[in-house]
Amino acid sequence: MFSSQSFKDGVKHAIGVPALGLGSSMFAFGAFLHSAGFDIYQSFFSTFFTFALPGQFVMAETILAGGTLLNVFLAVLLTNSRLYPMTVNIIPVIRDSQTPKWKQYLGAHFVAVTSWFNMFAVHKSIKQEEKFDYFIGLGGFLWANSVLCTVAGYLFSNLVSYEILIGLVFINPMYFLVMTVSNLKEKKMICSIFCGAIFSVLLNDIFPGWSILFAGIVAGSLGYFIFKDEVYE
């Protein structure tokens, strides 16, 4: 798997903008952990095992607020629950009948917004038997790069100003936004995004603090039921 050409192609895809966007946010997270009093081992393992930046921030902030282990677990579970439908969505697309279970579990660990979105942007141009190795290369490199950038941010946080660190946090969300807009070609995606934007505003007065979550659930469900009879490739 790791020596195949498709794996190497996935790594090449990750090198550049995807790795820079995600890595910059992880660098800022590492600097945040350093300033918050966490040690370098905690910083390393937070990305090594979690690889989900919003959940990592929630974990750190809950611990700093004095939350119990149960508080941390529930907060991170809710924050990272978005990765479950993403995993259910992408694994059947990239696997084939010959893909063993252990590879699928390994691939699930590399599912993040950046790897998920970039894989869907190119998967139709890749042979089915090569898709899984390609994703392992793509997602695996992004994961390894994120771990290194978290540690680098921890070690070199004193060399970067606070303003720059704040800017680094937003590079990856802006990259994801640009990728989303550039791929607004399918009706179901256009419908879901615009419905989400509308409902988030409408629900804000009713459910302040929860409007985005509820809007996403409602908009995604509407998109599914409206286009459920179409073939999802």
DSSP 118-162: HHHHHGGGS-HHHHHHHHHHHHHHHHHHHHHHHHHHHHSGGGS-H
pLDDT for residue 38: 93
For residues 197 and 94, which has the higher predicted lDDT (pLDDT)?
Answer: 94
Please tell me whether residues 18 and 127 are part of one structural domain. Answer: yes
- The band of 182, judged by pLDDT with boundaries at 50, 70 and 90, is low
Please tell me whether residues 160 and 74 are part of one structural domain. Answer: yes
Please tell me whether residues 101 and 209 are part of one structural domain. Answer: no
Q: If you average pLDDT over every residue of the chain, what do you get?
A: 86
Show which of 168, 183, 198 is a domain's final residue.
183
Confidence check: pLDDT of 232 > 60: no
pTM for this entry: 0.81
Domain encompassing residue 202: 184-233
**Average pLDDT score over residue span 148-167:** 86
Please tell me whether residues 63 and 109 are part of one structural domain. Answer: yes
